[in-house]
């Protein structure tokens, strides 16, 4: 007997050797096997007569075997198996390499279905390595919509397909969704949806199965995040005295807060009035002024005699935050400490640092607020450490605007504040795609900018050339791929293009002290051009910089390009973002065109989701979810599934009345930061 929990190696058709291969794919149990979905389906439902075959066709034929033989080639000494196959219109040779056992499978005068690509040898058409299957009541490998799965070495589509089909036919997958949801949504039951998705009869049936499984992915996500939110509401928090005169502190700032900043601050303070820890996401476009909101919030905590922690993803950014806070609070008698791999001191009222703040030896007396800058830049294990701090408010900042559907799914357990305005005095950044033919003109423009007192960022996707010779020969070197190495670009700009200017280099392999020195020299205008990898993507602030030059721009995602662009235009100086590429089709690149046409990060985030899908750009996989079927552009589905989840949890927050549903959620616990 077996059930969904049966280990994969105990299944008939698997065994120890094949189990090892399946485990490489993340398949450890029968449940994993049945929920290992195809990446696509190949339509082999239509047959072609042999006489109608054309070169390069993906053909599907029915034929009778006239002759079959295997022989060894004289030159390269491998085996070839030939089968001559005919239908009513003609004959064709089917050829397999190194599969001599086929002479025992393919018998003369028997009829088979063959599916493969049509090639030509000695002016005659043939099928190379076709999939074969005898005609029966239900085909698995041919004559239908055939599932194609992600594979690993030494495991074939045919083998995996056969194993999955065998057990789909042997088991009934229990339904976990409440019947009223299935009825209201018009969904297939799960058993039918799983079986249909693997082996659909036709495209409408496949669509029905996809709809059910997409609903499952989003609904389960909504349940997890909302259950997490409701669980948090049963925790207790340090009392915060809101009578502290925050407004007086705001009046001392050298600038006016925007209406959006004031609203965000109001929302955060309202969180402090609740008896449980806040979990708020403050998102805003690059340069929208998130950091001052976090600073004022930490000031309020410190003035209450409590502690706040600010986590930054890089040492450069941590040091920048520390310096800014020291300046902002210089007259406030607040003890601020810095904690990185290079700087470790006693924890202050406000502790600023990198992941070094998460080390076990770091102890807080009365931590009441954690602020995280760009939380998706922290690994899952690092972020999970923060879960142990139960009695702290959490404020997450993101300069990557999150599309509405993702905000309601991945970040559905967070309350959301959005900053849509830019501070006064910010100018629109002029963005241009620079074709290779215009590179010299662009260099001349950059030289004029530097002569006028400005500075320049140059971003490259790689640090150095591939280390192994075979990598270089295979790729032709990174330049031929359109990927500029930062070290190579630095040498070219310093020695050939701009020898009259000071050029610096910054990348992740430098020691922290070296990074600090380079950034400080750039801030002090001792470096005119800073060549860097994506280490400067987030938060780095050098107002005198007016040009952002991005090499291999087509290799970056839209949201990341927008982040790079946000490193300039941070003062009254007119600023430019130049997108370089040696791709001859660069002007047709939808991501780059979108960046040229829009400066609105929220609009670009939605566009990026349409173009690329969620991927891991917004922390999809880091949050514990890998949306294999659901389309996260479907706002209507997201909102409906969220409504169902809220109704269910309001009635039964522990889901004790829905044991199968609870079991589903327990199988994949939420690792989203909370």
| Tokens linked to 624 | 């514990």
Distance CA 276, CA 273 (A): 9
Angstrom distance (rounded) from CA 544 to CA 493: 20
Question: What per-residue string of b and e applies to 56-81 under the rule 16 or more CB within 10 Å gives b?
Answer: eeebbbbbebeebebeeeeeeeeeeb
CA 493 – CA 503 distance, rounded (Å): 7
Question: Is residue 376 very low, low, confident or very high in pLDDT (cuts 50, 70, 90)?
Answer: low
- CA–CA gap between residue 354 and residue 338 (Å, rounded): 9
Lowest-confidence pick of 172-181, 372-381, 420-429, 454-463: 372-381
Q: Residue 42 above 60 pLDDT?
A: yes
Does the pLDDT of residue 313 top 60, yes or no?
Answer: yes
Residue 475 has pLDDT above 60, yes or no: no
At 220, give phi and psi (nearest 5°).
Answer: -65, -40
* pLDDT at site 496: 95
> Cα angle vertex 424, ends 418, 430, to 5°?
90
Q: If you average pLDDT over residues 76-97, what whole number do you get? A: 94
pLDDT score recorded for residue 147: 97
Residues 409, 19: Cα–Cα separation, whole Å: 34
Task: Tell me the mean pLDDT in the region 350-372.
Answer: 88
Give domain limits for the chain: 1-45+144-171, 46-143, 246-273+289-398, 430-598
Res 616: pLDDT: 46
Q: Which residues contact 394 (CB under 8 A, 6 or more apart)?
A: 277, 278, 279, 280, 369, 370, 372, 386, 673, 674
Report residue 41's pLDDT band, with 50, 70 and 90 as the boundaries: very high
Instruction: Give yes or no for a contact between 96 and 81, defined as CB atoms under 8 angstroms apart.
Output: yes
Residue 208: predicted pLDDT: 97
User: What pLDDT shows up at residue 445?
Assistant: 96
Confidence of residue 185 (pLDDT cuts 50, 70, 90): very high
Of 117, 672, 634, 161, the residue nearest 404 (C-alpha): 634
Task: Give the model confidence (pLDDT) of 110-165 as tens digits.
Answer: 999 999 999 999 899 999 999 999 988 889 999 999 999 999 999 999 999 999 99
Nearest to 527 by CA among 579, 462, 441, 450: 450
Average of pLDDT values for 277-300? 90
- Separation CA 339–CA 325 (nearest Å): 14
* pLDDT given at position 674: 35
Q: What is the pLDDT confidence band of residue 584, given thresholds at 50, 70 and 90?
A: confident
Distance between CA atoms of residues 351 and 338, nearest Å: 6
Residue 69 pairs in a beta bridge with 82
- Top-confidence range, 243-252, 298-307, 472-481: 298-307
- Over residues 161-183, the mean pLDDT reads 95
- 538 pLDDT higher than 80: no
The pLDDT of residue 537:
56
What is the phi/psi pair of residue 651, to 5°?
-85, -30
What number does CATH give the domain 430-598? 3.40.50.300
Predicted local confidence at residue 391, as pLDDT:
77
Average pLDDT of every residue of the chain: 86
**Per-residue pLDDT averaged across 363-369, rounded?**
89
Q: Regarding predicted confidence, which is higher, 380 or 604?
A: 604
Q: Which CATH class is domain 1-45+144-171?
A: mainly alpha
Say if 46-143 and 246-273+289-398 have the same CATH topology. no
**Poorest-pLDDT segment among 449-453, 554-558, 608-612, 637-641:** 608-612
Task: Report the DSSP beta bridge partners of residue 372.
Answer: 311, 396
Question: Minimum mean pLDDT among 102-106, 506-510, 561-565: which range?
Answer: 506-510
**3-state SS assignment for residue 210:** helix
Query: The domain 46-143: what is its CATH number?
Result: 2.40.50.140
Percent pLDDT > 70 in the chain is 90
Closest CA to 295 of 342, 347, 253, 344: 253
Place 384 in a pLDDT band, splitting at 50, 70 and 90. low
Cβ of 436: how many Cβ atoms within 10 Å? Answer: 13
Gap between the Cα atoms of 389 and 276, Å rounded: 13
Is the pLDDT assigned to residue 671 strictly greater than 70?
A: no
Four-residue CA torsion sign, 189, 180, 620, 404: positive
pLDDT at 621: 52
Whole-number pLDDT of residue 666: 82
**pLDDT for the residue 287:** 74
Collapsed DSSP state (helix, strand, coil) of residue 119: strand
Residue 575 pLDDT > 80: yes
Q: CA 361, CA 596: separation in Å to the nearest integer?
A: 48
Rounded Cα–Cα distance for residues 372 and 295 (Å): 12
Q: In the predicted model, what is the mean pLDDT of residues 487-505?
A: 94
Average pLDDT over residues 308-333: 91
Per-residue confidence (pLDDT) for residue 429, from 0 to 100: 92
Beta bridge partners of 116: 59
CATH architecture for segment(s) 246-273+289-398: 3-Layer(aba) Sandwich (3.40)
pTM, two decimal places: 0.75
Residues 6+ apart with CB under 8 A from 345: 337, 338, 339
Run of H or E including 418: strand 415-419
Q: Report in angstroms the alpha-carbon separations of 108 from 65, 90, 505, 587.
A: 5, 17, 70, 57
Cα-based distances in Å from 422 to 92, 184, 426 = 68, 44, 7
CA triple 127-131-134, angle to 5 deg:
110
When computed from its CA atoms, the radius of gyration of the chain, rounded to whole angstroms, is 30
CB 295 within 8 A of CB 328: yes
| C-alpha dist (Å) from residue 500 to 132, 495, 527 | 68, 9, 12
Average pLDDT over residues 152-179: 94
Extract the runs of DSSP E, i.e. beta strands, from 363-414.
367-373, 393-398
**Rounded distance between C-alpha atoms, residue 477 and residue 582, angstroms:** 14
pLDDT at site 295: 96
- The residue-averaged pLDDT of 16-23 equals 94
User: In the predicted model, what is the mean pLDDT of residues 331-344?
Assistant: 89
Give the residue with greater pLDDT, 15 vs 503: 503
């Amino acid at each position: 007997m077996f059930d969904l929990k049966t280990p994969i190696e105990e299944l008939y058709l698997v065994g120890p050797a094949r189990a090892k291969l399946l485990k490489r794919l993340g398949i450890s149990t029968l449940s994993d096997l049945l929920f290992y979905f195809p990446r696509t389906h190949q339509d082999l439902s239509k047959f072609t007569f042999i006489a109608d075959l054309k070169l390069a066709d993906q053909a599907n034929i029915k034929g009778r075997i006239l002759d079959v033989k295997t022989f060894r080639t004289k030159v390269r000494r491998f085996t070839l198996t030939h089968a001559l196959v005919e239908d009513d219109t003609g004959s064709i040779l089917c050829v397999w390499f190194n599969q001599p056992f086929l002479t025992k499978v393919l018998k003369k005068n028997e009829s088979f279905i063959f599916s493969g690509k049509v090639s030509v040898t000695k002016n005659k058409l043939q099928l190379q390595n076709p999939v074969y299957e005898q005609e029966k009541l239900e085909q698995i490998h041919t004559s239908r919509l055939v599932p194609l799965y992600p594979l690993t070495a030494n495991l074939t589509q045919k083998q995996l397909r056969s194993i999955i089909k065998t057990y789909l036919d042997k088991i009934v997958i229990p339904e976990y969704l409440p019947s009223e949801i299935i009825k209201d949504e018009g969904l297939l039951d799960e058993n039918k949806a799983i079986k249909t998705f693997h082996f659909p009869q036709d495209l409408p049936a496949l669509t029905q199965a996809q709809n059910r499984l997409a609903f499952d992915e989003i609904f389960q996500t909504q349940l997890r995040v909302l259950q997490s939110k409701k669980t948090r509401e049963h925790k207790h928090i340090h009392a915060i005295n809101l009578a502290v005169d925050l407004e007086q502190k705001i009046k001392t700032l050298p600038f006016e807060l925007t209406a959006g900043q004031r609203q965000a601050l109001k929302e955060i303070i309202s969180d402090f009035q609740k008896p449980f820890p806040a979990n708020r996401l403050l998102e805003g476009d690059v340069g929208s002024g998130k950091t001052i909101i976090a600073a004022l919030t930490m000031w309020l905590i410190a003035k209450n005699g409590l502690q706040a922690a600010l986590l930054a993803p890089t040492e450069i950014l941590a040091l920048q935050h520390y310096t800014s806070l020291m300046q902002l609070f210089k007259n406030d008698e607040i003890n601020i400490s810095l904690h990185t791999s290079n700087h470790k001191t006693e924890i202050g009222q406000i502790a600023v640092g990198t992941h070094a703040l998460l080390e076990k030896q770091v102890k807080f007396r009365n931590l009441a607020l954690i602020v995280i800058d760009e939380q998706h830049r922290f690994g899952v294990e690092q972020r999970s450490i923060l879960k142990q701090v139960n009695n702290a408010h959490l404020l997450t900042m993101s300069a990557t605007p999150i599309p509405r559907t993702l905000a309601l799914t991945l970040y559905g357990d967070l309350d959301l504040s959005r900053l849509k305005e830019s501070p006064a005095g910010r100018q629109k950044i002029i963005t241009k795609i620079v074709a290779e033919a215009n590179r010299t003109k662009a260099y001349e423009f950059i030289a004029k900018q530097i002569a006028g007192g400005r500075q320049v960022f140059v971003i490259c996707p790689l640090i150095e050339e591939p280390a192994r010779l075979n990598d270089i020969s295979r790729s032709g070197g990174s330049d031929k791929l359109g990927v500029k190495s930062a070290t190579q670009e630095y040498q070219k700009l310093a020695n050939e293009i701009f020898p009259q200017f000071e050029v610096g280099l910054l990348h992740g392999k430098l020691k922290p002290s070296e990074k600090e020195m380079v950034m400080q020299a750039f801030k002090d205008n001792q470096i005119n051009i800073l060549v860097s990898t994506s280490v400067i993507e987030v938060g780095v602030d050098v107002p005198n910089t007016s040009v952002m030059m991005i090499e291999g721009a087509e290799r970056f995602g839209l949201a990341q390009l927008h982040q790079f662009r946000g490193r300039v235009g941070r003062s009254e100086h007119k600023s430019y973002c130049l997108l370089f590429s040696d791709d001859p089709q660069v002007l047709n690149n939808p991501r780059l065109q979108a960046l040229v046409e829009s400066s609105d990060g929220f609009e670009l985030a939605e566009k990026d989701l349409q173009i690329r899908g969620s991927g891991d750009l917004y922390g999809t996989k880091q949050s514990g979810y890998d949306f294999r079927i659901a389309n996260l552009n479907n706002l209507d589905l997201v909102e409906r599934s969220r409504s169902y989840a809220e109704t269910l949890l309001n009635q039964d927050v522990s889901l004790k009345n829905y044991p199968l549903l609870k079991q589903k959620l327990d199988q994949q616990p939420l690792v989203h930061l909370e």
